Structure 1
């Protein structure tokens, strides 16, 4: 089979797609990818054909960003025009059609975050007999009875909290839609999607009726989730076409930006062993706006805490110039680290709770101290599951030093966290490549 992957932009989405693509290639299928130009070099470095795209998914409020990137003089009016004329859709449809003409895929694997591409592709899928599947680089964004929203820090046993979280999600989305309607004279994201669904004659059964973090999520199509079922909450009935694949081992970063870290790591590990110290690793992923200020304050607080302990601390951040200077001799800061490698030697991982980081920490059996700062998507829900399964603790970036230190001491001193991580890994071991291929087989068979 010829299989085309359409990943969402971001390494957290690219890595799972590459892991699945590698398994399919191992089983004899031809694999292709198409996405933003930024990832072309990285993907081709892994040995896959990659078509760079200039367009972005439609119906996801990208109009302002696109027109700012194009340096349009009147961004608002350019965005309004795009919404009225379906400008982003037209550009997307043209590029995706060209990719299909060039690749001639039998199967398309869509990233669940950009599910609106299904609307674009639907007429072409029917016309050319192409099958489609959805890959989720995080837990599903829709809400099922018994499972709180994935951006919530509520546990499923808290029925009142679950109801409140769902109400807040509905209120937030309703207000967002109302603002867009007012700003764009009725041409909000939901209207744009509905209009194109009708024009493309996409059956309504494919538009999920469940509340979701996204404007559009798909029903009635095979969907694959990059986690073992054991990581999610128990006691809810999953959709019959959802398959849990387990924590797939992602590809290794080979960027030259890792040279400084690669040269320093042997010395750090030698010091760790010689002085019998614990190694703490801290990384917060990609930060935006006010998050940068919050995390910079937290990192400086963490450095002050570690300075008073015998532990070693490695921080990965591009905000190095905003950190305490000079750094204590037990603190090391890098713009970039090879995370999967470093976790093999880490005693505690301090993170925002991104799905990639959580899954890699579980695989390395490293207890986690999570400080979610991203409210839009999954970090809060990921942190809730980590705490629920006894694999780590969660905190608030603004909590006092004493509380941070207390959590660090608990995670380093209590062996139960390691035991729970080992138990989760044992559940993950059942998620083999053969099991994935068996689950994916219906997509490959006419």
Structure 2
């Protein structure tokens, strides 16, 4: 019997992490013969069709003059608000986390009519959203709705795990209640206003203090080896990883291939690398070590000079590079964190914002990496941490075993199967 060809509509957040996650899953579905359409933000124009997908894009704000880089809005936002990252996470709730929600909600309201038009044109069999905020049009379309959570799983808030965005340890509950009270105090009025608007659009009311609904099928990306100990409902399915297979192959540059020392990958992500001062600080410290570095320079790459033991570019095929390296220095974004575990690599984590603190803390408390204070680490602290992780052969063996099990579970195809199953459940 021939498999029914589905039309799958992906609606990812504009940032690279969620979009790349959807690209990986969508590519599996596309190669199985299904029609895959992306309702991504307009700055992604042409980048998704180049991968074989259809694009039906949305504006989250009035269009800017001229062409923008993919995700440019959030790159600018991060660059302009970077001073907030130096504050304790509980202080960022009012001055950074809340403004992010406000920007996200403004985008939702602006594009709601566009999304309704896209759904009418595309006529999807299933709608897949990888974002942190509700788009009512996706819930009122009368189609199966799949939510992907490609942030740290603390985003699914329950009382038996640390509060999301806190970076607090799982073994010490002393600050949990205070952080949750601060979140309630800073966010309740915004949530109430947004919830009322969501209901006005015909969608169900939002869960208490959450800005997004669950779907009938829900996927989250985090390896079992790193996950939090708690019971989730039957609609939730773990993907141990979701590593796209669309990245181009990577050949190690000659200047690094012939060098000495370990090979290390350094990336603060497409958004974090917009903090050029921080990039320069880390690069300056690492320049004095005997190791070789591949550097993801990001959108402001022209402002970042690399010493002789480093090579880098604005964009790099990260999933093709990670298997080659001995260590990863990262901001702790969910994609990079789970991809490093997928390939069994230890990490030095320099969190900047959002769930990166939670990922950094989790890797540190499990012994998969070391969390440093991003803006207060000393030169010696960073170099000593790099040397210790490189010399820890027991950790490297442990991570190699973790990575092998993650790869065996093949989260990418599991996600495709679950999305297909969600679409088929109504037919």
Shift of 1:136: 1.6
Q: Is the 8 A contact 1:142 1:149 kept in 2?
A: no
1:124 aligned onto 2:141? yes
Relative contact order: is structure 1 or structure 2 higher (C-alpha 8 Å, sep ≥ 6)? 2
- Structure-2-length-normalised TM-score: 0.78
**Structure 1 pair 103/171, CA: closer, same or farther in 2 (3 Å)?**
same
TM-score by length of 1: 0.75
Residue 385 of structure 1 corresponds to which residue in structure 2? 362
Deviations 1:280-331 (A, max 9, x none): 221111346994434433332333xxx2x3212232224556557xx54323
Q: Please, which of 134, 142, 163 is the counterpart of residue 147 of structure 2?
A: 134
Which of 196, 209, 218 aligns to 2:213? It is 218
What's the counterpart of residue 297 of structure 2?
317
Tell me by how many angstroms 1:27 deviates: 4.0
Distance 1:222 1:22, change over 3 A: same
Q: Secondary structure of the residue that 1:343 maps to in structure 2?
A: helix
- Supply the distance in 2 between the matched residues of 1:90 and 1:150 (Cα, whole angstroms): 25
Question: What's the CA shift string for 1:75-117, capped at 9, x where partnerless?
Answer: xxxxxxxx9xx99666523212221222111211112323x21
**Secondary structure at the residue paired with 1:403?**
helix
What secondary structure, in the 3-state scheme, does the structure 2 residue paired with 1:54 have?
coil
Q: Say which is worse superposed, 100-109 or 382-391, in terms of deviation.
A: 382-391
Please state whether the residue corresponding to 1:238 is helix, strand or coil: coil
Offset of residue 123 of structure 1: 3.5
Q: 1:87 to 1:359 in 2, by over 3 A?
A: closer
Does 2:238 align with 1:244?
Answer: yes
Q: 1:353–1:372: 8 Å Cα contact kept in structure 2?
A: yes
Larger Rg: 1
**Is the CA contact (8 Å cut-off) linking 2:145 and 2:215 kept in structure 1?**
no
1:190 to 2:177 alignment: no
Change in Cα spacing, 1:372 to 1:330, as seen in structure 2 (3 Å) is: same
Query: More deviation in 346-355 or 158-167?
Result: 158-167
CA deviation vs aligned residue, 1:325-369 (integer Å, no higher than 9, x gap)? xx5432334333322222222111111111111122222222110
CA distance in 2, matches of 1:90, 1:149: 27
Match of 2:373 among 385, 396, 400: 396
CA distance in 2 between counterparts of 1:172 and 1:102 reads 39
Q: Which residue of 1 aligns with 2:112?
A: 93
Residue 348 (structure 1) aligns with: 327
* Deviation, structure 1 residue 48: 0.8
Match of 2:20 in 1: 15
- Match of 2:46, SS state, is helix
Closer/same/farther in 2, CA of residues 95 and 407 from structure 1, 3 Å limit: same
For the residue of structure 2 that corresponds to 1:344, the secondary structure is: helix
Taking a change above 3 Å as real, the CA distance of residues 268 and 340 of structure 1, as seen in their structure-2 partners, is farther
Measured against aligned partners, the alpha-carbon deviations of 1:52-93 in whole angstroms (never above 9, x if no partner) come to 222459xxxxxxx89x99xxxxxxxxxxxxx9xx99666523
Residue 181 of structure 1 is matched in structure 2 by none
> Which residue of 1 is the match for residue 263 of structure 2?
279
Task: Confirm or deny that 1:430 pairs with 2:409.
Answer: yes
Q: Please tell me whether residue 102 in structure 1 is matched to residue 80 in structure 2.
A: no
Q: Which residue of 1 aligns with 2:169?
A: 155
- Does structure 2 retain, via aligned residues, the 8 Å contact 1:19–1:249? yes
C-alpha contact 1:3 1:31 (8 A) present in aligned 2: yes
Q: Quick one: distance in 2 between partners of 1:352 and 1:24?
A: 30
